[in-house]
Amino acid sequence: MLYYLFKYLDKSGFAGAGVFNYITFRASLAGILGLLIALIAGKSIIKWLQKQQIGETIRELGLEGQMQKKGTPTMGGIIIILAIIIPTLLLARLDNIYVILMLISTIWMGVIGGIDDYIKVFKKDKEGMKATTKLIGQLMLGVIIAITIDYTHKLNHIPLETNLPISKLRLSYTDILPGEGNAWLIYIPIIIFICMAVTNAVNLTDGIDGLAAGTTAIVGTGLGILAYATGNIKFSQYLNIIYVPQSGEVVIFLAAIIGACLGFLWYNGYPAQVFMGDTGSMALGGAIAAVSIIIKMELLLPILCGIFFAESISVIMQVSYFKYTKKKYGEGRRIFLMSPLHHHFQKKQIPESKITLRFWLITVILVLATFALIKLR
């Protein structure tokens, strides 16, 4: 909204109004505004959540300090969503299809996560929303993202392909499934899988204080730099990555995510005063998935989002191995002391704050490794 105001002022000869034409300037403002909204609104929202008795229900898992968290307000993801949406609406170009898609993805998954939290808190159902219903919601979002991007890219004559992490070559979906107009038959299922995988991975990571929010802020920084390069024809040519016109506006959205997550950490850092719940984790997962698909970096996600990936894989390995050994030996066995992965380290008596810090550091290394791979291409 402010973009259009200052664009009008710039045409009217208002001194300094032209600075709003720069993505970097608006992204900086979005990050600051997201941080301030999370800090200022966060306190009031936490009090409201406490008043509504929207507290976390804790299952006894034998983890140190676990029961002390009982009653801590959940659904704090409302803070994050507000701190993302408001700066985006104020500072991004709302006629940009990618910005609209990002807003839809965040709100869509935030609503699904919010319903899940509502069932857990008010219906006293620890399982929350049925897994099938949740997956259907994620599937529908994947379809919306895939169809929108496919249609938009056709209008802009952008090939249906994606960047490879270690090769200058690009993966073309038309090569996977040759034939006129057949590429979407493989493209849409892949996009749906990415949306489901990333959303659930972020959700699984949100298990200890500050882990999901801090990791997302770091990943968001990496994606923001990649998005800026993808939307800039000179940088994209230099790095030999696919140029996606108008995708630079996504940087403003990502800056808002970074600011929102950092502001949320003020209250969510150990010991947490509020949890984001599925409301926040699923909204962030949906946003990360959508951004990576828009900027053609979806195949880099296992590296860039390595922590999310490891958390998800640890659960898959644990459950699969337990079922296999139970069927073979009549007794289920475990690979990890507990899954997701962060709980394994908790079981090893490593302090929660130290686990979080180490996972953050690993994420920084993985983001830098991603940049190195892009450059080495």
**Where is pLDDT greater, at 181 or 234?**
234
Residue 40 lies in a domain: yes
DSSP string, 316-330: HHHHHHHHHHHHHHS
DSSP assignment string, 162-213: EE-SS-SSEEEHHHHS-STT-HHHHHHHHHHHHHHHHHHHHHHHTTSTTHHH
Residue 92 lies in a domain: yes
Q: What is the pLDDT of residues 4-60, one digit of tens each?
A: 665 656 566 666 667 778 899 999 999 999 999 999 999 999 998 888 766 656 555
Residue 246 has what DSSP assignment? T
Predicted local distance difference test score (pLDDT) of residue 56: 58
Confidence at residue 67, expressed as pLDDT on a 0 to 100 scale: 57
- For residue 4, what pLDDT is reported? 64
For the segment 107-114, the average pLDDT, to the nearest whole number, is 95
This prediction has a pTM of 0.92
Q: Residue 363 domain-assigned?
A: no
CB-CB contact of 75 with 277 (8 Å): yes
| Residue 240 in domain | yes
Sign of CA dihedral 251, 256, 261, 266: positive
CA distance 62 to 49: 27
Q: Is the pLDDT of residue 172 over 90?
A: no
Higher pLDDT, 289 or 52: 289
Distance CA 359, CA 36 (A): 25
**Range with the poorest average pLDDT among 123-127, 158-162, 185-189, 340-344:** 123-127
CA 374 to each of CA 87, 116, 142, 171, 294: distance values in angstroms, whole numbers, following the listed order: 30, 38, 26, 15, 17
Segment 176-196 shows an average pLDDT of 81
Predicted local distance difference test score (pLDDT) of residue 212: 96
Give the residue from 366, 309, 306, 374 showing the smallest Cα distance to 170: 374
Burial 172-204 (b: 16+ CB within 10 A, else e): ebbeeeeeeeebbeebbebbbebbbbbbbbbbb
- Per the structure, the complete domain to which residue 174 belongs is given by 23-303
Comparing 171 with 71, the larger pLDDT belongs to 171
By the 8 A CB rule, do 54 and 124 touch? no
For the chain, percent of residues with pLDDT exceeding 70: 89
Asked whether residue 170 is assigned to any structural domain, the reply reads: yes
Does residue 93 form part of some domain?
Answer: yes
How high is the mean pLDDT of the chain? 88
Count how many domains the chain has.
1
Residue 221 domain flag: yes
Is residue 88 over pLDDT 80?
Answer: yes
pLDDT of res. 164: 85
CA–centroid distance for 194 within its chain: 12
Q: How confident is the model at residue 179 (pLDDT cuts 50, 70, 90)?
A: low
Interatomic CA distance for residues 268 and 282, integer angstroms: 16
**Is 313 a domain residue?**
no
What's the pLDDT tens digit per position in 259-271?
999 999 999 998 8
Q: Quick one: pLDDT at residue 368?
A: 96
How confident is residue 204, by pLDDT bands cut at 50, 70 and 90? very high
